[in-house]
Amino acid sequence: DRARVYTSQGEMDKLQCPSCESTWNCVEQLEAISANSAPGGVLKDMSLAPACPHCGNTTILPNLRGGDWFNHKPYEPTQQRLLEWLDDSVERKLKVAVVEVGVGGNTPVVTHIPAMAWASAVAAAGGHATYIRINPDLGAANNGRGSNRDGRALQTTTEGLTRFDWAAGWRALGPVAGAVVELRNKAASRATEAGEPGLSRREGELGADGEIAGDATAKAHYQQRYTSILYSLRTPR
For residues 163-175, average pLDDT: 85
For residue 42, the model assigns a pLDDT of: 92
Lowest mean pLDDT among 11-20, 24-33, 166-175: 166-175
For residue 148, the model assigns a pLDDT of: 55
pLDDT for 204 beyond 50: no
For residue 188, the model assigns a pLDDT of: 82
pLDDT for 209 beyond 70: no
CB atoms within 10 A of CB 194: 8
> 117: closest CA among 144, 157, 142, 87?
87
For residues 124-142, average pLDDT: 83
User: Confidence class of residue 191 from pLDDT cuts 50, 70 and 90?
Assistant: confident
pLDDT for 211 beyond 70: no
For residue 206, the model assigns a pLDDT of: 45
> 165: closest CA among 153, 149, 150?
153
Q: Bigger pLDDT: 155 or 201? A: 155
Q: Is 34 exposed, middle or buried (0-12, 13-18, 19+ CB in 10 A)?
A: exposed
**What is the three-class DSSP state of 156?**
strand
For residue 14, the model assigns a pLDDT of: 96
> 159: closest CA among 105, 201, 215?
215
pLDDT for 163 beyond 90: yes
Lowest mean pLDDT among 87-101, 118-132, 150-164: 150-164
Rounded CA separation 225/113 (Å): 9
Q: Is 113 exposed, middle or buried (0-12, 13-18, 19+ CB in 10 A)?
A: middle
pLDDT for 207 beyond 70: no
For residues 186-193, average pLDDT: 81
User: Confidence class of residue 208 from pLDDT cuts 50, 70 and 90?
Assistant: very low
pTM over 0.85: no
For residues 205-214, average pLDDT: 52
For residue 144, the model assigns a pLDDT of: 54
Which letter, b or e, does each residue of 59-96 get, where b requires 16 or more Cβ atoms within 10 Å of its Cβ?
Answer: ebbbbbbeeeebbbebbeebbeebbeebeebbebbbbb
For residues 15-41, average pLDDT: 93
Q: Is 135 exposed, middle or buried (0-12, 13-18, 19+ CB in 10 A)?
A: buried
Mean pLDDT of the chain: 86
Rounded CA separation 70/23 (Å): 11
Helices (H), 109-172: 112-125, 138-141
What H or E segment, with its residue span, contains residue 24?
strand 23-25
CB atoms within 10 A of CB 179: 10
User: Confidence class of residue 106 from pLDDT cuts 50, 70 and 90?
Assistant: confident
Cβ(134)–Cβ(101) below 8 Å:
yes
